[in-house]
Structure 1
Amino acid sequence: MKHLPKHLRPRWRYLAVRLDAWPDADFDRRDFQRSVWFAAQNLVGDAASADADLKVLRFDFADGTGEAIVRVRRGHSEPARAALACIDGVNGDPVGVRVVGISGTVRACEEKYLRRDGQFRDERKVVFEDARRSAVVRGDRLDVRTDGAFAGATELDFE
């Protein structure tokens, strides 16, 4: 079977997405893909979400931060961005989803928008709510463990 000519092939856009969650969040590419599909179906309906054809191509998530590349048909970028903005949790874990850029190729998307910040995960002890607790440090953010959950804080909250 022959390939379609170039002018008949579908054209794609690639969304660079950053993910932020609590350090103990545990989900994978399949869970994130399911959340993307459900968000698109709930926002624009079955027919429009099928036409947009959202697919997670690349996914990297560990220690509460991650990034992904989501493929969408050209012309459906804005509804796809809106659908991604509707995601507030993946597999029961609260998550923040932010589209940082749109590109025409996967390579350009990776090079322009998904360079690592050099953030590393560190743990230390802090005093929070008059008690000594452990905190996960990521850049200028601290996630303090409180009674089995986390509370977000910054360096200014401890000075």
Structure 2
Amino acid sequence: MKHLPKHLRPRWRYLAVGIETWPDASIPRGAFQRSLWYAAQNLLGDPGSADADLTVVTYEFGDGAGEAIVRARRGEVDAARAALACVADVDGEAIGLRVRGVSGTIRACEERYLGRAAGVRDERDVAFESESRRAYSRDGAVDVETPDGFVGATDEDVSR
């Protein structure tokens, strides 16, 4: 089977996506892809979702932070951004996504926007609600572990 000529091949744009969630969350690539497809289908409908053709190209996640490259057809970048904004949780785990930038090639996307995952994670015990609790600090954001789950805070909200 012959390849299509260059002027007939589909053109792609690559979105660099920053991922953030609670420190104990485990989000596999397949679950992230599935949530993205469902969000696109619910927002854009079947024809719009097919036009955008969203695919996770690269995915890296660990310790509550990660990054991914999502491929979308040229001309559908706004629809892709909207679908990413609709992803609120993956397999019951709350998630925050931020589009860092858009590029025409995977290489340029990696060089310009990726490699800056959330900073080094620091574990420590802090005083929160008059009790000593385990906390995970990352770039000024502190996730305090409570019996009911995690609570988001800042360095000023907790004392060492």
**TM-score bin (small chain):** over 0.9
Cα offsets for 1:118-141 (capped at 9, x unmatched):
711121000000000010111211
Which whole-Å CA distance do the structure 2 matches of 1:158 and 1:136 have between them? 11
Bigger shift: residues 149-158 or 29-38 = 149-158
3-state SS of paired residue (1:115): coil
Name the counterpart of 1:48. 48
Which whole-Å CA distance do the structure 1 matches of 2:132 and 2:150 have between them? 14
* Cα deviation, residue 6, structure 1: 0.3
Alignment RMSD? 1.1
What is the one-letter code of the residue matched to 2:147?
D
Which whole-Å CA distance do the structure 2 matches of 1:13 and 1:69 have between them? 10
Cα gap change, 1:64 to 1:114, in 2 (>3 Å): same
Name the counterpart of 2:83. 83
Which whole-Å CA distance do the structure 2 matches of 1:118 and 1:139 have between them? 7
Task: Tell me which stretches of 4 or more aligned residues in structure 1 moved more than 3 Å.
Answer: none
Name the counterpart of 2:36. 36
Identity %: 60
Name the counterpart of 1:94. 94
Name the counterpart of 1:133. 133
Give ranges in structure 2 of 5+ residues lacking alignment.
none
* Cα deviation, residue 115, structure 1: 2.5
Name the counterpart of 1:110. 110
3-state SS of paired residue (1:61): strand
What is the one-letter code of the residue matched to 2:113?
Y
Which whole-Å CA distance do the structure 2 matches of 1:9 and 1:118 have between them? 36
Which whole-Å CA distance do the structure 1 matches of 2:116 and 2:141 have between them? 16
What is the one-letter code of the residue matched to 1:144?
V
* Cα deviation, residue 30, structure 1: 0.2
3-state SS of paired residue (1:26): coil
Name the counterpart of 1:20. 20
Which whole-Å CA distance do the structure 2 matches of 1:126 and 1:85 have between them? 33
Name the counterpart of 2:68. 68
* Cα deviation, residue 47, structure 1: 1.1
* Cα deviation, residue 24, structure 1: 0.8
3-state SS of paired residue (2:49): helix
3-state SS of paired residue (2:68): strand
What is the one-letter code of the residue matched to 1:88?
A
